[in-house]
Amino acid sequence: MKNETLGVVDIGSHAARLGIYQVCDGRVEELENLSVPLLLGKDVFTSGKISMRNIRLATEIISDFASVMTEYGVARCRAFTTSAVREAVNSEVFIERIKCACGVDVRVLEPAEEVKLTCLAVRERLKGSLSLKKRHAVICNIGTGSTQFSLLEDGRVVNMLSLNFGTLRLREIIEDAHTGVRDIHQAIEDFTDNLVSSIARLTPNLVADALIVTGGNTRCLLNIKHLSKKIVNFASIGVRDLRAIEKKISGVPPERLAETYGISDHYAVGLEPCCIFIDKLIASTSAKKASIVVTDTRSVVLRDMLTDVGDGTDEFDKDVREAARFMGRKYNYDEKHAEHVKRLALTLFDSTATHHRLDKRDKLLLEVAAILHDIGQFIDTRQHHKHSMYLVGSTQIPGISSEEIRLLSLVVRYHRKAMPRRSHPEFVSLPAAQRMRVSALAAILRVADAFDRSHDARVEITSAVIKGKNFNINISSAKDVSLEKLSLSKKQDLFQNHFCLNVKVAVR
């Protein structure tokens, strides 16, 4: 970890924030923490786009942030935004204006990436307070514009659900209907009832012995409950507490709540929906209480930046693998076959490193593809590679971006039968570099899958070496491998075409 000054910019639904950090001798010190109101959520959640006025205001704010970062000598900056900009029909214009005016690249986080950051932040906060090992847990990040659910088994994220529900969004929608105060309360009750019922249908395994909630409004609930006079990162709240708070705040104008409890107007607007939602979640998950965890996304993004200059190891990779296995079990996959193909594929990946120049992220994607390549058999064994492509392509995997999902779906599609062709619209629509990634990963997966054609892990690769124009693979087996050899003769075509190597197999 080298010594440097780093900047993190968070463009949220109702404010833009800047954090500046000094990294020195492995220690991180916060030098600056700025927050400026920016009401993007009010625009997007009512009209679907960011107003010209707020685009201009955003460029002014980020320009000021850029000047502050220059004064501090910031070496690297990461800027991100979430649901408000993600859903705006003019999001690309918004990002382009900031880039042109301020020279700052803003990245729109996808729900799967938000889930990753939230879970990492929760784990960091819970160290020494609550262990998620050997638990079925749900983490619910309640935002002002969207809400993400993460299902955890034994501390690892295995499934996720993202909803266009947020405390500010809900209040804006309801108040836009010009209802009275009593009607607003009832509308919130009805909406959250319907929402929790939908969640239960979409995630039948939502029953949990630990319910963790995060988000700005949940922090405000701690202030109202007066759990402690000092800053706390973790505290429990029960149904009785929530209903007492609800009774206290129901019908009170947001501006008075903001003044009374020292919170922003925007959080004050969302307090009642947040309170009712958590109450109903506790009942839905059979949890006895909710644990409010105070998190800071910017600190997790900062840690991610520090990882970038390390060895590239991502602590969330284990969650990605477990999420893939969870998905595989959902479709009754052959776990023994999938895990063996994965091991064979990783051996081939490492042995061909000089010919593919792929990185650690590609290696993780290969693992996921190997785990999921046969899940299409849940629909039909015929053309199951195409069914696998559809299932993977229509699923959110925690920590995997939509671009990577698209790539993964094609890798599993090409694990058998036809090779990638320009006549395939899903393939040809990719940029050239991405097409090469798909071809390389699929080529390796095809060979690995061929070596376990019998689905009983009878083949082990003892060595794999590139020598001249040949890729010499030595295998060992206590059983007959005729079926594997036959399968390889049909599936090695993509490997030979992509890497320009002849596959030579010897049984030792």
Q: Are residues 16 and 95 in the same domain?
A: yes
Interatomic CA distance for residues 16 and 35, integer angstroms:
6
Q: Decide which of 173 and 395 is more confident.
A: 395
Q: Is the pLDDT of residue 356 over 90?
A: yes
Q: How many CA atoms lie within 13 A of 117 on its CB side?
A: 24
**C-alpha angle with apex 448: 498 to 348, nearest 5 degrees?**
65
Residue predicted with more confidence, 498 or 254: 498
Q: Is the dihedral of CA 106, 107, 110, 113 positive or negative?
A: negative
The pLDDT assigned to 181 comes to 47
Same domain, 344 and 269: no
Average pLDDT over residues 95-105: 96
Query: What is the residue type of 293?
Result: V
> Given 234, 261, 296, which residue is the final one in a domain?
296
Residue 305 in domain: no
Rounded CA-CA distance 157/136 in Å is: 10
Same-domain status, 33 and 145: no
378 with 450, same domain: the answer is: yes
Burial zone of 180 (CB within 10 Å; 0-12 exposed, 13-18 middle, 19+ buried)? exposed
134 lies in the same domain as 242: yes
Residue 48, classified by CB atoms within 10 Å of its CB into exposed (0-12), middle (13-18) or buried (19+), is exposed
Is residue 312, in this structure, part of any structural domain at all? no
User: Is the per-residue pLDDT at 238 higher than 80?
Assistant: yes
Do 395 and 501 belong to one domain? Answer: yes
Cβ–Cβ under 8 Å, residues 277 and 245: no
DSSP string, 440-484: HHHHHHHHHHHTTTTSS---EEEEEEEETTEEEEEEE-SS--HHH
Specify whether 97 is located in the same domain as 148.
Answer: no
Select from 230, 263, 296 the last residue of a domain.
Answer: 296
**pLDDT band (50, 70, 90) for residue 264:** confident
d(CA 103, CA 62): 9
Longest alpha-carbon distance in the chain: 80
Are 460 and 500 in a shared domain? yes
The mean pLDDT of the chain is 89
Q: Which residue has the higher pLDDT, 343 or 127?
A: 343
CATH number of the domain that 62 lies in? Answer: 3.30.420.40
CATH of the domain at 366: 1.10.3210.10
Residue-by-residue DSSP string for 294-359: ---HHHHHHHHHHHHTTT---TTHHHHHHHHHHHHHHTT--HHHHHHHHHHHHHHHHHTHHHH---
Sheet holding 15-24, edge to edge: 27-37, 15-24, 4-11, 76-81, 106-108
Rounded to an integer, the average pLDDT of 31-43 is 92
Cα(387)–Cα(58) distance, integer angstroms: 44
Please report whether residue 310 resides in a domain: no
Domain boundaries, position 469: 317-507
Residues 291 and 372 in one domain: no
pLDDT higher for 454 or 233?
A: 454
Return d(Cα 366, Cα 373) in angstroms, integer. Answer: 10
Question: Which three-class secondary structure state does DSSP give residue 263?
Answer: coil
Is 304 domain-assigned? Answer: no
Residue 309 lies in a domain: no
Residue 199 contacts residue 161 (beta carbons within 8 Å) = yes
Band of residue 105 on the pLDDT scale cut at 50, 70, 90: very high
Asked if residues 170 and 191 have their Cβ atoms less than 8 Å apart, the reply is yes
Nearest-CA neighbor of 156 among 320, 397, 297, 366?
Answer: 320
Task: Give 145-170 pLDDT, tens digit per residue.
Answer: 888 989 999 999 999 988 887 777 77
How far is 258 from 266, CA to CA, in rounded Å? Answer: 9
Dihedral of CA atoms 438, 439, 443, 444 in degrees, nearest 10, equals -40
pLDDT reading at 411 higher than 70: yes
pLDDT at residue 434, as a whole number: 97
pTM greater than the 0.85 cutoff: yes
Express each pLDDT in 173-208 by its tens digit: 666 655 554 566 777 777 777 777 777 765 666 677
Amino acid 227: pLDDT: 45
Percent of all residues in the chain with a pLDDT value above 90, rounded to a whole number: 61
Least confident of 40-44, 373-377, 390-394: 40-44
Q: What is the DSSP letter of 49?
A: S
Residue 152: inside a domain: yes
Q: Which residue, 64, 82, 109, sits at the end of a domain?
A: 109
Residues 31 and 122 in one domain: no
**Span 440-472, pLDDT tens digits:** 999 999 999 999 999 999 999 999 999 999 999
Residues 84 and 228 in one domain: no
Looking at the domain assignment, is residue 311 inside a domain?
A: no
Segment 475-487 shows an average pLDDT of 96
pLDDT tens by residue, 59-77: 999 999 999 999 999 999 9
What per-residue confidence (pLDDT) applies to 261? 85
The dihedral through the CA atoms of 316, 318, 322, 327 has a sign that is positive
For residue 124, is it left (φ>0), alpha (ψ between -120 and 50) or beta?
alpha
Could you tell me the CATH number of the domain that includes residue 256?
Answer: 3.30.420.150
With respect to residue 13, please indicate whether it lies within any of the assigned structural domains: yes
Is the model more confident about 82 or about 225? Answer: 82
Number of folded domains in the chain? 3
Cα angle value 167/170/174 (rounded, 5°): 140
Structure tokens at 332: 């009754």
Residue 175's pLDDT is what? 62
Residues 381 and 467 reside in one and the same domain: yes
Lowest mean pLDDT among 83-97, 166-180, 280-294: 166-180
Q: Are 149 and 396 in contact (CB under 8 A)?
A: no
